[in-house]
A and B are shown apart, each in its own frame.
Chain A
Amino acid sequence: MIERLERFLADAEPGRRARVLSYQPISGGYSRISARASVRWADGREETLILRGDPPAGSGVFVSDRDAEWELLRALPNLNSVATAPTRWYDSSGDYLGAKCIVMQSVDATSFQAVLTDADDIGPLSDLFVDTFAAIHGSRLDPLPERMTRPSDWMSYLDGVLATYDQVAESHPSVAPVVRYVTRWAAGHRPPPVPLALVHGDCQPSNVLVSEAQPPIVIDWEFAHIGDPREDLGYYHQIPLLPNVYWSDSERFLARYRAATGMTEDQINPDVVDYFLIIGMATLYAQLVDAADAVANNQHPGILASYLINAISHQHDMFLSICDRQN
């Protein structure tokens, strides 16, 4: 991999002659293959790069479009609403690095989840987390890439999400009873609409890097889309990594979010967050079930697919509990 990266850098930065000093895979992501590489240029400067590439074809659980992510990462700085890791280059064909791969500059910052774990008082950190995502949700949409789908209206957007669940139920009999029940329930319990917005799609502190010197940096944008911003809150609600700042003090979390976004209590409250747990999980849930199916069809997508069958059961349990609470 070191030689591949050196060849890539030679073409990306002709004349600068890079020597790759180290290349180390990074664990922790469930989706893309990530690695950290240390590079020394001919002028003696050294820097650390982060590589984020697709897993080999047919393997892995979560599917997303690297071209779309690259375009979005290039557009995000124009929003002036969220800080991101500086992008450097993109192997758009995979010819150099073995798979489509985004190369970013490493930032000197710590995982927000790790900071939360070590904190004595997570209240102020909860506020920072909320403010970070509220700012994303308040972003202007016009600078975003053309390829991002712009739903025509809130109702049809929600219909589309529920249709994803219908399709899952249609093709996967073992989950069909739970999915069909929950989908029908969700269709009949829609909360008040809010304007569609930029949704991160994997909202959790593990995807935020913090340091004292700079604003929080939000990473892993592969599931970003234009949708209902409350999806991010619902999605975070099901993240089992502790401390979860929503679980710790949901009242503070939601009051802060309402203040930052101007949403009313009807538009965002614990029931609505529960509701958007179901909506915010639709894409990933469908991919989890597809991956389990790939195992069943001997396609060997990798150990993650089998491991995350538990996550499907975890979702079922939460989905049913939500329907029960709001019946």
Chain B
Amino acid sequence: MISRPTTDQLIADVCQDLVEAVLPALADETLQVRVAMAETVLRNAAVRAAHEIAWMTDETATLIEYANAVNARIPNVELTAALAAFDEAPQSSLHLADVVETYERASQAFAAALAGAQREGTVELVDTAREMLHDRVSTEKAVMATYAVVGR
């Protein structure tokens, strides 16, 4: 395949064209807002395209490590089932749809583990999970780096 420009570079190039060539030519205010929103979405997509497989793969490993640790200490039916579902996920594939499927199953297992830790009042497990949630949201914020309210 033609590897350069990369996906994020291609998207960034389209964004530049939208902002510099298309947007100034639009007289309709509602269309201006839609194009501004589209440009934001594309910029977010560029960030995601460059990193999302690595981000989800790395986080999946951490989520499952935590879920297994909780399951060893305070097992519950939901968590055990979620871990079994994760075991069936297409973990070795790097195709995006498979990575997402694996990540979502890991997320469900982590959520079940955290709920169990909160229910049992296991402070150190809850604290660890809270740090992991912050890391997760930091990634979300990295994607939304250029987010600004438009059209209000």
Count the B residues whose beta carbon is within 8 Å of the partner chain — how many?
A: 39
Assess whether B137 is interfacial by the CB under 8 Å rule: yes
Interface residues of A in 124-179 (CB under 8 A from B): 169, 173-174, 176-178
A14 at interface, CB cutoff 8 A: no
Cβ-defined contact, A303 with B152, below 8 A = no
- Closest residue of chain A to B118, judged by CB? A184
Number of residue pairs A-B, CB distance < 8 angstroms: 94
The answer on a CB contact under 8 Å between A178 and B136 is yes
1/0 per position for B12-41, CB-CB distance to A under 8 A?
A: 000000000000000011101110011011
Tell me the nearest residue of chain A to B140, going by C-beta: A313
Most buried by B among A177, A313, A320, A323: A177
Distance A176 CA – B143 CA, assembled complex (angstroms): 19
A316 touches B137 (CB 8 A): yes
With contact pairs A30-B151, A310-B147, A313-B137 given, residues A177 and B114 touching in the complex (Cβ less than 8 Å): yes
Residues of A within 8 A of B (CB): 25-28, 30, 113, 169, 173-174, 176-178, 180-181, 184-185, 206, 240-241, 303-304, 306-307, 309-310, 312-314, 316-317, 320, 323-324
Q: 1/0 contact trace for B87-126 toward A, CB 8 Å? A: 0000000000000000111011011001100110000000
Q: Which of B103, B108, B114, B152 has the most CB of A within 10 A?
A: B152
Contact B144 A314 (CB under 8 A): yes
For B132, the chain A residues whose CB sits under 8 A away are 177
Instruction: Provide the bound-state CA to CA distance between A312 and B147, in Å.
Output: 12
Inter-subunit contact B130/A27 (CB<8 Å) = no
Assess A316 versus B152: contact at CB under 8 Å? Given A176-B107, A184-B118: no
**Chain A at the B interface: SS class:** helix
Given the complex of chains A and B, what is the CA–CA distance between A206 and B37 in angstroms?
19
B144 pairs with A310, CB closer than 8 A: yes
Cβ 8 A contact of B152, one of A25, A28, A313: A28
Give the residue of B37, B136, B152 whose beta carbon is less than 8 angstroms from that of A177. Answer: B136
15 new A-B contacts, CB < 8 A, other than A178-B137, A180-B114, A181-B115, are: A25-B29, A26-B30, A27-B30, A27-B32, A27-B33, A28-B151, A30-B151, A177-B107, A177-B111, A181-B114, A184-B118, A185-B118, A307-B37, A314-B144, A317-B140
Q: Are B149 and A241 in contact (CB under 8 A)?
A: yes
Chain B residues whose C-beta falls within 8 Å of the C-beta of A28 in the assembled complex: 151-152
Q: Once the chains are docked, how many angstroms separate the CA of A113 from the CA of B152?
A: 10
A25 → chain B closest CB, angstroms = 5
A241 touches B144 (CB 8 A): no
Are B111 and A314 closer than 8 Å at their CB atoms? no
A27-B29, A27-B30, A320-B137 known; A314-B130 Cβ under 8 A: no
Decide if B114 touches A25 in the complex (CB within 8 Å): no
| Closest beta carbon of chain B to A27's beta carbon, Å | 5
How far is B144's CA from A312's CA once the two chains are assembled, in angstroms?
A: 10
In order of increasing CB-CB distance, the 3 nearest A-B pairs are A313-B140, A173-B104, A307-B37
Is B141 engaged at the interface, CB distance under 8 Å to the other chain? yes
| With A169-B111, A303-B41, A314-B144: A178-B152 Cβ-Cβ less than 8 Å | no
Question: Can you list 30 residue pairs at the A/B interface with Cβ under 8 Å?
Answer: A25-B28, A28-B151, A28-B152, A30-B152, A174-B107, A177-B111, A177-B133, A178-B133, A181-B115, A181-B118, A181-B129, A181-B133, A184-B118, A184-B119, A240-B149, A241-B152, A303-B34, A304-B37, A307-B37, A307-B38, A307-B40, A309-B44, A310-B44, A310-B144, A313-B141, A317-B137, A320-B133, A320-B134, A323-B130, A324-B130
